Structure 1
């Protein structure tokens, strides 16, 4: 059966990176199970289980990466025994006959399934954290580059006080810094389930070591070390607590809100023709409207961000209904939600990295929009300047009010340009300030401390946050699969 004849999730078939797909692939899953069995056997042998021979260890070490044929064999075996782990125990034993009798010794299925999942979660974070670091780095360079460019601010999507383009981008960066903190914390909090036995009591291993509690504890710690973890969960049921999945997916869901907000802002700016996402030379925006430059990357981000947020609920609901030491109603949903969350995060970050590497700015459009609104915003400055020249504040206010309404009528009712400044220039009442009206209308005087805020934020806060991840920063081109 060809891949073209069956459904493939777009997450892996269309969007995500090769490295993230490999983390959650069948080969990596089953090879990781073998790695777990191998390290369990090493630790058990080190602690005195002589039933495990050097030949068994040697054979297991030579077949840690499962082959295509072995995957097919295990699949056929699972159809008979209806148990995935035992099917792979059987297949691994056929490949390593000297180890067939000691593979999975003392272990429960969750020794391989749960410990493997924890390894995958840690490895998946190791893929997305560097991508997030580079998104922050590239946006930071963009913010510094445009720290002085005045833009019209928006509140309620209505014209508001001016800011700068660089300052606006720092709002996205600050959210991403919190995401980086959350990613790093979640990644480093992941421990190993370890060697806990059927219901978490370690009874089977206590029997193997004839009641020696110290050796059972040593076994748990040794397997943890062999697998490259610093922490093993001190108590578990049959599974590690599914609350761990909640803690792992929560930062991804939070990041989804950041990504959605940023992409939405860019979509709105594209509508205003002020800033656009990259648009490739041969890219087609619409099959019918050849002129279109649709913000498809940002639309993809918004779409997938909503999906990723919804996956957090899977973890919350699953953790809340795990009866006593475990139930099996977590298995099917976790096979879907955990990989999907990381595949989606990987896609979002790759897309944001592509966007942040090539955003296009149109200063003339920005300037024109500012000029259409700035006269109204400058009225307070004009009032104060007139008062300094001896006029009555109330009289100036009334004059400005009348002229502002006349100018607004031209804009709203006739579709004309804002001519408030021309009206002021033509009114003899305002003669005392005619010569320096231009200074009162300089956009750079309306942005407050925006440039200084950008400089301080990037040089202090961003630099400090990225310092532990400096070795991940690069300037490589980011090409999207589609």
Structure 2
């Protein structure tokens, strides 16, 4: 698979290599080699033929661009590939050439090659997810007590714990790892059905051939050929899309917190990273940018997979071919977003002082609800709400801090002057104390997420 320079910008060389033209073609040759060996073991083709076929199942022996060009006329890459494989076998053993691709069909070889590539792609994604979640869990633990503004509808709301916020980024990624593995277990299956999915040419030996071929390729045998039953395959693709959406959420928050006016987080800098030739003061969040761009492309690919599920009868016309074209970009975008965020969080700058200053800059207004609840103990909720509302208007009008206005307001109130504990009310303005509820939640969730991560790290991938 060739990608444009703009695709390359949004992904990794590792994932490009997985779906490279040569890699897919080699996967097809692995299928043909394994098929012949399995059939020879079951007595369907001569062992000499299986050896002859295996001897030339090497993508480097073939003109891959010519195969791709021929596939546009033939309707499938498998057709010119099998033709050239047959011709090449015939150069060394004319009799063996008759057994190339015997009893199989084009979709068997293409689907299985894509399954093999997808297995490698999922290994890359799982490794990247493990790295990012471990980094995020460590970051959450380090900042479990760090107060930071929570923001709703893009506006400052109340104080939360940075650790709790980070755990909100990590949890979906752990769920993604688990669900990708589950989906892969159902989707990464051998495709072998022959012309109409019945393995008619192989007769009673068909099931045994399928088991041998699946074992050779390290795959599971499907309950039945899935030429036009694409549900499990599409579900796997959709899990990749959902995971990439979760990466987009992290990138969104990172980019917003890295804005100069906010300045709470910053991506690594130096060596030309994130700089501006015209504005040297800038520290551009390029990792967030890449992750957002990659994630932004994903919904269209996922929608196309769903749209192509209505495949006709026993073999699809156009929709399977469209699905094939949409599949690699899903993984290419996903790994690009994942690697970008690993780069960012691997050397992230956390400015706790700026977080505190951003809280203080709101003049105590974000503590108004807590103050109202505290005052309600003495004068009831309606009166407390009215009292605090008046104070907040003064904060805005006079440019003073709510905590500074409180003592004089209490001393001026007959209902509060001799009844309330002013010290306990003033303690409500402590950001660390305000983040304590989030901290309690974070401690509990951090322990659970660490257990989940350790369990996933111990289990082998597909």
* TM band (smaller chain): 0.7 to 0.9
Q: Distance in 2 between matches of 1:425 and 1:45?
A: 92
Please report the TM-score for the alignment, with normalisation by the length of structure 1. 0.83
Change (3 A) 1:442 1:274: same
Q: Deviations over 1:189-210 (max 9, x none)?
A: 124344311011222222xxxx
Q: Residue 119 of structure 2 aligns with which residue?
A: 122
Q: Aligned ranges for residues 107-186 of structure 1 at < 5 Å?
A: 107-186=104-183
Q: Residue 476 of structure 1 aligns with which residue?
A: none
Q: Which runs of 5+ in 2 are unaligned?
A: none
140-149 or 425-434: which moved more? 425-434
Q: Residue 334 of structure 1 aligns with which residue?
A: 323
Q: Distance in 2 between matches of 1:420 and 1:79?
A: 72
Q: Residue 393 of structure 2 aligns with which residue?
A: 405
Q: Distance in 2 between matches of 1:375 and 1:312?
A: 45
Q: Distance in 2 between matches of 1:189 and 1:319?
A: 17
Q: Deviations over 1:107-159 (max 9, x none)?
A: 21122112212222222112211111111111110011110001122222233
Q: Which runs of 5+ in 1 are unaligned?
A: 1-6, 207-212, 412-417, 474-482
Q: Aligned ranges for residues 38-437 of structure 1 at < 5 Å?
A: 38-49=33-44, 51-54=45-48, 56-67=49-60, 69-71=62-64, 74=67, 84-96=77-89, 97-98=92-93, 99-206=96-203, 213=204, 215-236=205-226, 239-271=227-259, 272-320=262-310, 322-373=311-362, 375-379=364-368, 400-411=388-399, 418-425=400-407, 428-429=411-412
Change (3 A) 1:73 1:317: closer
Asked if 1 retains the 8 angstrom alpha-carbon contact of 2:144 and 2:439, the reply is yes
Change (3 A) 1:380 1:309: closer
Asked if 2 retains the 8 angstrom alpha-carbon contact of 1:133 and 1:472, the reply is no
Task: Give how far 1:438 is off.
Answer: 5.5
Asked if 1 retains the 8 angstrom alpha-carbon contact of 2:376 and 2:383, the reply is no
Task: Give how far 1:313 is off.
Answer: 0.9
Q: Distance in 2 between matches of 1:382 and 1:117?
A: 60
Task: Give how far 1:329 is off.
Answer: 0.2
Change (3 A) 1:84 1:336: closer
Q: Distance in 2 between matches of 1:319 and 1:299?
A: 32
Task: Give how far 1:387 is off.
Answer: 8.5
Q: Distance in 2 between matches of 1:372 and 1:472?
A: 49
Asked if 2 retains the 8 angstrom alpha-carbon contact of 1:194 and 1:224, the reply is no
Count of residues in Structure 1 that have an aligned counterpart in Structure 2: 448
Q: Residue 31 of structure 2 aligns with which residue?
A: 36
Change (3 A) 1:436 1:77: closer
Change (3 A) 1:88 1:438: same
Q: Distance in 2 between matches of 1:80 and 1:372?
A: 67
Q: Distance in 1 between matches of 2:379 and 2:405?
A: 18
Task: Give how far 1:312 is off.
Answer: 0.6
Q: Distance in 2 between matches of 1:104 and 1:133?
A: 40
Task: Give how far 1:163 is off.
Answer: 0.7
Task: Give how far 1:82 is off.
Answer: 6.9
Change (3 A) 1:159 1:203: same
Q: Distance in 1 between matches of 2:100 and 2:85?
A: 8
- 1:19 equivalenced with 2:9 (yes/no): no
Change (3 A) 1:394 1:125: closer
Task: Give how far 1:407 is off.
Answer: 1.4
Task: Give how far 1:76 is off.
Answer: 7.5
Q: Deviations over 1:264-312 (max 9, x none)?
A: 1112212211122323353353343221222232122122212112101
**3-state SS, counterpart of residue 159 of structure 1:** strand
Change (3 A) 1:383 1:453: closer
Please report the TM-score for the alignment, with normalisation by the length of structure 2. 0.86
Asked if 1 retains the 8 angstrom alpha-carbon contact of 2:149 and 2:160, the reply is yes
